[in-house]
Structure 1
Amino acid sequence: MPTKRKGKQTVKIDSPISIISTASIVGPKEGQGPLGIYYDMVIEDEMWGEKSWEKAESKLMKETLSKIINKSGKALDEINYILAGDLLNQCTASNFALREAGISFFGLYGACSTMAESASLGAMLINGGFADNVVCITSSHFCSAEKQFRFPLELGSQRPPTAQWTVIGSGGVMLSNQGIGPYITYVTTGKIVDLGVKDSNNMGAAMAPAAADTIVTHFKDSGLSPSDYDLIITGDLGSFGKELCEELVSKQGYDIKSNYADCGMMVYDSQKQDTHSGGSGCGCSAVTLAGYLYQEMKKGKYNNILFVGTGALLSSTSAQQGESIPGIAHAISIQNKFE
């Protein structure tokens, strides 16, 4: 029986799996950033008419899902699965956002790698013949994330230069075995990498080793090289993590500097917006993929992208116990032509 596996951690998608619709909704700070024109909607304030930041985050995902479905032209009963996750305890933002959807649901936790994780699994579900249409979606919220992982905003705590700003936003895609692309062609599933970083205000350093490991593994497994991609983009390493990732990949014999970018450094204007090292959160890579990357691929600016979601697998409990921060990264190849 022919195998779809390529090397240790990579799967080649051997039938056309198309991204047929996307949607993204962001907060006011994100809307003022360089990618503001690419989002479907910018909300007026962080609460968005709700009684808590957590409820606002669920509303972000609920409304993003509605836009994805409406733009796809698919009926609800044509969608086989929703794959979703977020940063809140037990993925509560996703659970409450999607409880009325009436669609089979897989809740995922990959921290900020969840967009790439959900798209990876969605593509494999369809490629395996288990689904025709799958929605992959995630969200994050600066206020709820700060309260859970670091300090309540009311304390006015000083943030170090390595700290990142959790994106307020929800982004997602619908994958289908029909459509004209862009197509997901490779999936490289990451493994947990932990080099002992314990500073929750330096997640870029915690995630960078995992990102580098997945990128290098993808090249080794697939036989592709950095020059095969118009863009290699990580989820949210920020300025410090991006530099470290470049160095780690270079040590393995691959030069990615000329076509490498990071979503965390693209969402905000580093000169005008005080976000220190850049953006983070599940929503960071999700809104960048659903907005900027998807639209620029449709225009032909990019034809081949390696999208690498990065996640810091910490919790408030593990941090209080003095544990280190494990990292994870998942990669998908997205191409305008299916070969």
Structure 2
Amino acid sequence: VYSAIYRRVSFWRLGIFLLIASTALAESADVTHEKLLVNRGFIEIAADKFNVDAQILSAIIFTERTLNYDWTDERLDVVLFSTWKQNSSIGFAQVKVKTAYFIERQFSDSTSVFYPGEKYEALLSVSQTKEELIAKLLSDSLNTCYAAAYLRLMSSRWEREGYPIHTRPEILGTLYSTGLFQRDGSERSPRTNPRANEFGSRVREAAALFQRNGLVTMEQPSGLISKTRFNRLTKCALWGLAFLLFIPSLVIVPMRWVNPEKSSYMLQQIFAGRKIHNMWTPLDEISPYLVLAVIAAEDAQFTKHSGFDVQQIKRALAHNRI
């Protein structure tokens, strides 16, 4: 029984390890840099269309991919949204589906506080179905346009209130990562001296490099993420250790509430993975034959197979009854 449980725990450990590892192994800086070069034309067109800084847009995409993008995103994000309605980030600039939906409507709603102005209104069409929207986000060129449009919404909103941020990559990056609304639904309102989060600070560093060296001749930016990657690996290692120590307890502790087997039939039920009623059973109510069978079945190899040999227990149970 415990051997089967141990194997199940091992699978859980493996799954959790892969999940944690995927967060630690975000896309490397040099790979992201190459992708920025490939999509440089899309970035410049989108930046020009929505009147945002191409270097800041590049820096935001760079930071998003090197901090948050990994191999699971490309394979699972569309599935998660289509199947479980998760608000997945999709595509080159990792734009969330619901964010893209929000962006489309702000560009066509002149009464919205985020409305960027009439000259931008015709630049985005409103998707009629989620499939249409996802198809747009899967296109690198259109995905980049949505990212640029998002920056335009932020810039227009803050500038209208007297707080221009179009030249502040750290604030645009912060809003890009946190969203325009708090958890309670209230807006992250424009204000004096807004603070940047870690993501925004990384965007500022990347933007400074892009602006100083240019995107094409930019030095390999490994220094930008070395500290962040170290922090991520450290956190993941600690979480991994916690899971490895804690998960077995989650599996074994509930066994105290599993009704102890009173017969070989109950033993077979447990071994087959079937549900047993959770209740305490006094020791004197357990079949003495089963107790003797378990004792008889324990052998010198117990520590190696991490559990009891169910078949041997059944044979010993039959022998003790005779």
In which range does the TM-score fall when normalised by the shorter chain? under 0.3
Pick the structure with more helix per residue: 2
Of structures 1 and 2, the larger Rg is shown by 2
Q: TM-score scaled to structure 2, two decimals?
A: 0.22
Of the two structures, which has the highest relative contact order with CA contacts closer than 8 Å and spacing of 6 or more? 1
